[in-house]
Amino acid sequence: MGTSTCTILNERYKIMAEAEFKGKDVLLVDDDRDILTAIEAAISELGVDIRTTGNGNTAVDMVEEKAPDLLILDQMLPGRSGFLVLEKIRGIRQETGKPPVIMITANPGERHKIYAETLGVDVYINKPFRMQKLIDATIELLSKE
């Protein structure tokens, strides 16, 4: 994840992305401050508004307050796991159709991936990952709206 965001989005693409995603709200949830900072720096180049937290309970509160256009969610969190966050916000997702979810995790288990998919996770990414993979998934999900 040490790739410079400058190499991820060239200037022309960045301008197009900023126009397309301006005003889109992304909630980024990870308890690892370094990962949170790296992801925030990379996806901020898309021109989205970003809210962050490192706690599962706070994430639920934030979604209930305002459902984001995209939720990027770590699986293992203090307060409430990513799975429990998804279970708690299930009603909001069914009612509003948002947010689509990218789950990131250090857990390579296939069982967890299958469970995440049953909870409606759109994209499941194992850590460590290439930042470009996360940006591509973010663009794809935000473009669906």
pLDDT digits (tens, 9 = 90+) for 96-145: 888 999 999 998 889 999 999 999 999 999 999 999 999 999 999 999 86
Place of tokens 């397309």: 20
| Residue 49 confidence (pLDDT) above 90 | yes
| Residue 17 confidence (pLDDT) above 60 | yes
What pLDDT score was predicted for residue 9? 55
pTM (2 decimals)? Answer: 0.88
The token pair at 39 is 């992801």
| Residue 72 confidence (pLDDT) above 70 | yes
**Would you say 71 and 63 are in contact if contact means Cβ atoms under 8 Å apart?**
yes
Superfamily of domain 23-143: Response regulator (3.40.50.2300)
**Would you say 63 and 27 are in contact if contact means Cβ atoms under 8 Å apart?**
yes
Task: Spell out the domain ranges in the chain.
Answer: 23-143
Percent of the chain with pLDDT over 90: 73
What is the chain's mean pLDDT, rounded?
A: 89
108 prior amide bond cis, ω within 30? no
- C-alpha to C-alpha distance for 99 and 140, rounded to whole angstroms: 13
Percent of the chain with pLDDT over 70: 86
- Dihedrals phi, psi of 79, to nearest 5 degrees: 90, -55
| Residue 11 confidence (pLDDT) above 70 | no
The token pair at 13 is 């693409």
The token pair at 80 is 């409430």
Instruction: Give the angle subtended at the CA of 74 by the CAs of 141 and 96, to the nearest 5°.
Output: 45
What pLDDT score was predicted for residue 104? 97
What pLDDT score was predicted for residue 12? 54
